[in-house]
């Protein structure tokens, strides 16, 4: 899996996170449910683009058109299913605004810094294009294991 190389923190082919917690608590926005905190500008850019793409998706629920975050939460999260749809829509907007605020105020690695692909201090994903979608592939074993555990934790939190 590892390519045994270094890359610059501004390399748009990689997204890099540290393990941590968001300042706010989130119910709907899956990005805010993770323990992955971006530490490079390309990572923040990628997250913002991903959030915008999910929000552009439209779904009809109870005779209302909602964005992708609302639809996903309404489908998968029992807590959200018990809420009024208008409250879910309002909560999604609040969470979106808070996450953007957090993203805009993160301390990021910048400049001529390089990171080794095998650095276990960070979660490193290689971005690849698959059809019309950009996917993030764990770039080393440390990230791959964290990703597996994190997806299980999020599934358990949302589904229980």
Question: Residues 15-59: pLDDT tens digits?
Answer: 999 999 999 988 888 777 788 999 999 999 999 999 999 999 999
CA atoms within 13 A on the CB side of 58: 3
Q: Name the pTM for this structure.
A: 0.87
- Would you say residue 2 has pLDDT above 50? no
- Would you say residue 157 has pLDDT above 60? yes
- Residue pair 131/50 in contact (Cβ under 8 Å)? The answer is no
Q: For position 34, what pLDDT does the model report?
A: 84
Which tokens sit at 156? 């358990």
**Lowest-confidence pick of 37-41, 109-113, 117-121, 149-153:** 149-153
Q: For position 52, what pLDDT does the model report?
A: 94
Residue of 1 and 31 predicted with greater confidence: 31
Q: What is d(CA 19, CA 120) in angstroms, rounded to the nearest whole number?
A: 11
Phi, psi of 68 (to 5 degrees): -60, -40
Write down the mean pLDDT value for the chain: 90
Residue of 65 and 129 predicted with greater confidence: 65
- The residue extents of the domains of the chain are 6-159
Of 5, 14, 16, the closest CA to residue 116 belongs to 5
Share of the chain above pLDDT 90, in %: 68
């Amino acid at each position: 899996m590892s390519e045994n190389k270094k890359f610059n923190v501004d390399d748009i082919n990689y997204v890099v996170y540290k393990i941590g917690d968001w300042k706010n608590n989130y119910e709907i926005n899956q990005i805010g449910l993770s323990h992955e905190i971006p530490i490079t500008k390309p990572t923040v850019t990628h997250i913002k683009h991903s959030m915008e793409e999910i929000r552009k998706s439209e779904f009809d629920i109870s005779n209302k058109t909602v964005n992708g975050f609302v639809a996903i939460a309404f489908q998968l999260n029992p807590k959200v299913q018990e809420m009024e749809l208008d409250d879910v829509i309002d909560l999604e907007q609040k969470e979106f605004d808070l996450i953007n605020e957090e993203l805009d105020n993160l301390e990021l690695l910048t400049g001529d810094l390089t990171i080794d692909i095998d650095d276990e201090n960070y979660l490193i994903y290689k971005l690849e294009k698959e059809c019309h979608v950009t996917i993030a592939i764990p770039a080393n074993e440390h990230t791959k294991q964290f990703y597996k555990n994190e997806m299980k934790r999020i599934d358990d939190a949302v589904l229980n």
